[in-house]
Amino acid sequence: GCWGVSVSHVPTESRPGHVAMLAGFFEDVSAVARGWKHNPVPFDSIINRSREAFAFGSPDIVLIFTNDVNHATAMVYSPELEDFQQNDAAQLDRWVFREIEELLNSTDVTIPKRLASDRLVFFLHLLGLDTNGHGHKPQSDKYIDNIAVVDAGIARLVRLLDDFFADNRTAFLFTSDHGMTDWGSHGAGTEAELITPLVMWGRGVRGSTVKNKISQIDLSPLMSALLGCPIPMNSFGTVPLHLLDALPRYKFKVAYANFKQMLEQFILKKNEKKAHSLPFMFRDFDQLHPKILPTIESEIKRLVAQNRFEAAVAVCMQWIPILRTGLVYFHRHDQTLLGIAVASTFITWMLCVYFITLRRSSIILKDNNVLILSLKQFIGVGFMFTLLLLNGLPFTHALYLTLPTYLSCVCYNAVSDLIRSNLENFIINWHSTHCPEMRTKWLFLCTYWMLLTISVAVILSVIVSAFIYRPILSIEFLVFGLIPVLRRGENRDLVKWKRMWLICCLAVAIYPQFPVVGQTPLPTVCALSSFFTSLLIFWISTFPVLSSTKTLFRYHSALHLLATVVVIFVDAFKDYKLLLMLLRLICWLSIPVAAVLPLLSSRSVIIRLICWFSSLMLPYTLLSLSYESSFMLLLFVLLTTYVRLEFGQMTDEEFLAMSLPQRDYGTKLVADVSDTSFNDWLQGLVLVILIEAAFFGTGNIASLNSFNPSFLRCFISVFSPFTMTAMLIFKISLPILAVAFTYAVIVRLKKILITKLSMILLVISDTMALIFFFRLVDEGSWMDIGSSISHYSVCMLLTVIVYLLLNFTDYLLPLSLSRIMRDEGTIFERKRLYSLTSKTEEDIV
């Protein structure tokens, strides 16, 4: 036999890993979001190409390859067995070995006939090691014991198959879909997650004592060669001939099949691009000109006719990488054109938003006509779009290329009246620059805009860099901490708030220097954070000015104390199933309880804000693994201080006495949008930085991809992709929701339109997205590829998410359960009085 490693790819998850092994190509990164259950792989695989196939193991993996394949039989265990906290996860592997043994000993008359077929595949999915790695970590005794179970099971299986078939024609391939970190996670691009074992032995395998290294997608053509079946049509892999023990003629057949399979993909992709490209934009792949392909085929046939199979193999293997390069070339054929179109769309769109925010009148009532093109503009844009479609471009490509033209027309409509009114003054001023005063004025304006442009570029560079390198967040908060301290002229009550702001900024600045959450679980820190939250809320309840809600604050304090006990008990008594079920029930109930409690508080701004922060902290603590719960606590204090500083003209007594005003939704849309001031842009910038801190303060994109399932230990332990994803998104959204509550208070009290703030945020986030668009890569390490896509996606979704959250929190903030119940009681009382009155009138009659 031979041994070595196969190199996986990001995301290092089960579905893309198995697609790479069995289908031979790296599935699109977005496919991991499709989940697993009831979602068969929609392309060719080794299972399809086999004559008969038997698959054993987890339903989440086995069924996606065997569903809709008539000759494949799946044997799966119950999903409830996939429990990360179970004491014996090795039972999953023992179940697989037991099932295949029962199959070989089956009394079913159809089984021997099926087992006698050629191209027979046994697919054994051994999940025990992955489950033990997640639940107990790779260094644990349970993980080591599970390795022994797998070794013993494979040894017994080899003996069973040798005895059953007795023909020495079985090949064995042992590998993995992904690796695992020391802290029991996978999904990112570290070496521990990318490198997987490869052990092969049996018929057709060449013996070797040296370490071999192949790509994971090369396993598909390798298995096809061992089975003697066609290579899956979508395969991108190159068969590793050095691992095969075969005659030169057979090696040539394998290499030639790989060459032809890759050639067919190349020709199809080339013809597709040629049919859907502008004639003057299509460029052929120089290394594989149409005249070269017949020459290659002729050379291969000539060598085969002379029985020079090794030379023919060399020709095939020489051109396979070139064909693959050609496939990549045509895949990226329209990249430059579409890139220019998308960048132009970004720029014109941001100009549209900026010009609209500069206008005084309401966009909703008076500016909607700027979006409607004039007849000449409509004809021009329509002609361009139609011409692109007639030239064979796909609808989406034509849309991308036409959109910048449409947005340019919108920009012109938005500023045309401004241009017409100021053009004459501009020309007069331009010709008056010989006047020293006017020259000085123009010089000042040019200097001002140049410095402003440089400042904006520096600020955006820092914000964008924090996406890539977390410690830069520390610099942002150090600068943040100094800004209020340097401000003068506000009342004396703010001195202690400024000190608190500086202390909080310095404390928060420490966290980006820590390793990302998940690498080293620290349940003690989670428990302590919840305990200190309980103490803090209890201390706040003693303030005389907050005496009206003392009881409610005590309830909040008690809940956080209960969360402290739950976190400790879940880790200490994880082997006691009955107690664990009770604790998890408490955790699930804590989410609706935390959502209801703030609705019982008074309409005081500070009371309602503290109640919501406390309610967000409760589930976050139960979903925490390490220091992120303490970060959340500090973030809440920081946000509360920020709200106080925003109303620096008030005294503490006035601020604490503020109540939430009712928003007049009837006049919301007709309110004029004032000129966008420097403070408006500053608020938008602070909002972006706070959201960035909430998102990246304790982790990064890679840590989200390779999250540790142990963060769900207080809620579930059974493997459930959809539940885990939903809970991960819920956890990520809690700090961002806290920022949204903070700004909901500010926009409500300062009577700022959420639409206006969102449009400012749109300009900032789209500028960041444009920067990340130019940083998108589709080559290099899979870690770089995945991170570049994720950063771009986050910036694109930022405005939509924040807009929805601001409106959601603006609705929740003044909502009062007691008032709703009181209103319903009033309605009921009126109905009762009406019925009594009606009855009295009837009696009188």
Alpha-helical (H) ranges within 166-210 are 191-194
> Would residue 518 be called left, alpha or beta, if left means φ above 0 and alpha means ψ between -120 and 50 degrees?
left
Q: Where are the domains of the chain?
A: 2-232, 247-333, 335-431, 470-741, 817-845
User: Using CB atoms within 10 A of its CB, is residue 305 exposed (0-12), middle (13-18) or buried (19+)?
Assistant: exposed
Tell me the whole-structure pTM to 2 decimals: 0.73
**Closest C-alpha among 617, 533, 523, 615 to residue 570:** 523
3-state DSSP helix/strand/coil % of the chain, to nearest 5: 65, 5, 25
Task: List own/partner pairs for 676-680 with CB under 8 A and 24 or more apart.
Answer: 676/357, 676/358, 676/756, 676/760, 680/752, 680/756, 680/757, 680/760
Strand order in the sheet with 195-202: 171-175, 195-202, 2-7, 211-215
State both tokens at 239.
Answer: 């068969």
Closest CA to 182 of 171, 166, 193, 174: 193
CB 118 within 8 A of CB 170: no
Say if residues 21 and 208 touch (Cβ distance below 8 Å): no
| Beta-bridge partners for 244 | 205
Beta bridge partners of 718: 83
Residue pair 181/193 in contact (Cβ under 8 Å)? The answer is yes
Q: For 174, what's the count of Cα atoms within 13 Å in the CB-facing half-sphere?
A: 17
d(CA 166, CA 836): 94
Spatial CB neighbours of 469, under 8 Å, sequence gap ≥ 6: none
> What Rg do the C-alpha atoms of the chain give, in angstroms?
33
Closest C-alpha among 204, 235, 193 to residue 217: 235
Please give the Cα distance from 767 to 784 (Å, whole number). Answer: 21
Torsion of CA 310, 312, 315, 320, to 10 degrees: -100
pLDDT along the chain (845 residues), means of 10: 91 86 79 48 85 93 88 90 77 95 89 92 95 87 94 96 92 95 80 92 93 95 96 94 95 96 94 86 87 91 94 96 93 87 90 71 48 85 92 89 91 71 53 58 76 84 87 90 70 81 92 76 86 92 81 90 90 80 89 88 87 92 87 93 87 82 51 60 88 82 61 78 81 92 89 82 89 79 69 86 90 76 51 53 50
* Cis bond upstream, residue 40 (ω within 30): no
Cross-strand partners of 424: none
Measured distance CA(642)–CA(422) in Å, rounded: 40
- Compute how many other C-beta atoms are within 10 angstroms of the C-beta atom of residue 822: 11
For residue 360 the two structure tokens come to: 């005084």
- Across 643-670, b (16+ Cβ under 10 Å) vs e yields bbbbbbebeeeebbeeebeebeeeeeee
Least Cα distance to 232 among 400, 23, 441 occurs for 23
**Separation between Cα atoms, residue 31 and residue 43, nearest integer Å:** 13
Query: CA angle, corner 137, sides to 131 and 139, nearest 5?
Result: 125
Which pLDDT score is estimated for 839? 53
φ, ψ dihedrals at 656, nearest 5°: -70, -25
Closest of 314, 185, 191 to residue 248, by C-alpha: 314
How far apart, in Å, do the first and last CA atoms of the chain sit?
A: 105
Closest CA to 563 of 640, 624, 522: 624
Q: Are 22 and 193 in contact (CB under 8 A)?
A: no
The owner of tokens 């310095």 is: 506
Contacts of 731 (CB under 8 A, 6+ apart): 619, 620, 623, 711
What is the signed CA dihedral for 536, 531, 581, 728, rounded to 10 degrees? 70
Strand partners, 54: 73, 122
Instruction: Give residue 580's pLDDT.
Output: 84
Q: How many residues does the chain have?
A: 845
CA 716, CA 83: separation in Å to the nearest integer?
8
Q: Spell out where 296-339 has E strands.
A: none
Specify whether the CB–CB gap between 816 and 493 falls below 8 A. no
The token pair at 620 is 């976050």
Q: In 10 A of CB 431, how many CB atoms?
A: 10
Strand pairing report for 52-57 and 72-76? parallel
pLDDT for residue 36: 44
Secondary structure element (H or E) that encloses residue 556, with its range: helix 550-572
DSSP secondary structure letter of residue 753:
-
From the candidate CATH numbers 3.40.50.1000, 3.40.720.10, 2.40.30.10, 1.10.274.50, the one assigned to the domain spanning 2-232: 3.40.720.10
Nearby residues of 23 by Cβ (< 8 Å), 6 or more positions away: 41, 43, 44, 45, 46, 220, 232, 234, 235
One-letter amino acid identity for 743?
Answer: Y
